[in-house]
Chain A
Amino acid sequence: GESVGLHLPTLSVQEGDNSIINCAYSNSASDYFIWYKQESGKGPQFIIDIRSNMDKRQGQRVTVLLNKTVKHLSLQIAATQPGDSAVYFCAETISGGYQKVTFGTGTKLQVIP
Chain B
Amino acid sequence: EAGVAQSPRYKIIEKRQSVAFWCNPISGHATLYWYQQILGQGPKLLIQFQNNGVVDDSQLPKDRFSAERLKGVDSTLKIQPAKLEDSAVYLCASSLDRGDEAFFGQGTRLTVV
Residues of A within 8 A of B (CB): 2-8, 32, 41-46, 49, 89, 91, 95-96, 98-106
Contacts and interface: CB of A to CB of B under 8 A. Distances in A.
Contacts of A103: 42-44
Contacts of A8: 40
Given A100-B45, A100-B48, 16 more contacts: A2-B39, A2-B109, A4-B39, A4-B40, A6-B40, A8-B40, A43-B4, A43-B91, A43-B93, A43-B105, A45-B104, A46-B103, A95-B99, A100-B56, A101-B45, A106-B41
Given A2-B89, A4-B89, A98-B55, A46 B42 contact: no
Interface of B: 4, 37, 39-45, 48, 50, 55-56, 89, 91, 93, 98-99, 101-107, 109
A103 B102 CA distance: 13
Nearest to B48: A98
Contact of B99 (A5, A89, A99, A105): A99
Contacts of B40: 4-8
A4 B37 contact: yes
Contacts of B109: 2
B60 to A, nearest CB: 13
Closest 6 pairs between A and B when the two form their complex, measured CB to CB: A43-B104, A103-B42, A7-B40, A98-B55, A99-B99, A103-B43
A86 B17 CA distance: 33
Contacts of A101: 45, 102
